[in-house]
Amino acid sequence: MGNQLELKQDTVIREQTQTRTRATFKIRWTPILFLLPSLIVFFVFKYYLIFDAIYISLFNYDIVNPPGNFVGLGNYFEFLKSATFWVAMKNTLIFFVLSVLIVFWVPIAQALFLSQVKRWNAFYRVLYQIPGVLPVVAGVLLWKWMYNPDRGLFNYLLAKIGLGPYGWLNDLHMTKLAIVLPGFFTGGGISVLLYYAAIKSISAELFEAAKIDGCGPWRRMVIIILPNITFVILIQFVGFMSGVLLSFDNIFVMTQGGPADASLVVALMIQRTAFVQSRFGISAALSFFMFIVIAVLTIVQFRLQKEDD
């Protein structure tokens, strides 16, 4: 009798375990079907293009009779031996350093000021987003007009106080700064809201305790705010880094890489190689090279963040 009871208990436990297992491994098809179209589009327009670029980079690509002659890593060696590539790489790194010094911290500062505003807070948040509504090319063309050495707004205003005129985009020593400077005035756009939300998520009790201990606004920012939004800053920096290293539209509209290649960057060199010189193999090799560079820098950045934690 006791053995039969134990067998029944074992059977019940086994059935319950199997039921839980089926429930655990049950596939929910509804969310998968909703996600499937976006996954297909993402794969086709992202990953497929990456693999296709890698494939093209191994050939002396012939657009009339693709893929052309196989050259292996020849395209990579060719652009690495090119003096123009190293000029473009140098300019790209200079643009990156200038952008970090002049532009990257702007949305953080805007979010810090915005977090202290009590009245009309929502109104100011909307104002911060207005520059992001303006098409990039339209904004760049406006700045290009203001930089005009003969009829531009900047030289006109500077002439009133006895300064200038300056070449701005035509000056070898000023063109990089002139291209980066608009980012300082246009602000951070959606980045401001991300930093603002991160700051507002910090417990108010921390700020109250800091005030009781006599911490001023600057010290509260250093010991409370910045450490608590470090992860958001890291994520934003990764996106900012890739955006600057691949920047194209503002440079193309303002200078097209001039004067004398002073603003030539790798992304612009990729465009020239492909659509001006019709050397699609080298252009694809350059694209994949920059993909590797940005991926390595991103991994290093996350590793350093983990070590700090």
Judged against a pLDDT cut of 80, whether residue 112 lies above it is answered with yes
pLDDT tens for each residue of 47-61 = 888 889 899 999 998
pLDDT at 6: 55
Q: Retrieve residue 187's tokens.
A: 């602000």
pLDDT tens for each residue of 211-237 = 887 888 888 888 888 888 988 898 899
Judged against a pLDDT cut of 90, whether residue 30 lies above it is answered with no
Domain limits, the chain: 2-56, 79-308
Radius of gyration of the chain (CA): 28
pLDDT at 97: 95
Q: Does domain 79-308 have CATH number 1.20.1580.10?
A: no
pLDDT at 4: 55
Give the pLDDT mean for 249-253.
92
pLDDT at 280: 93
User: CB 174: neighbour CB atoms within 10 A?
Assistant: 16
* Helices 230-245 and 190-200: angle between axes, nearest 10 degrees: 170
pLDDT at 28: 77
Give burial (CB, 10 Å; 0-12/13-18/19+) of 115.
Answer: middle
Judged against a pLDDT cut of 60, whether residue 150 lies above it is answered with yes
pLDDT tens for each residue of 71-110 = 989 999 999 999 999 999 999 999 999 999 999 999 999 8
Judged against a pLDDT cut of 70, whether residue 17 lies above it is answered with no
pLDDT at 14: 62
Tell if the pTM clears 0.75, that is, is over it: yes
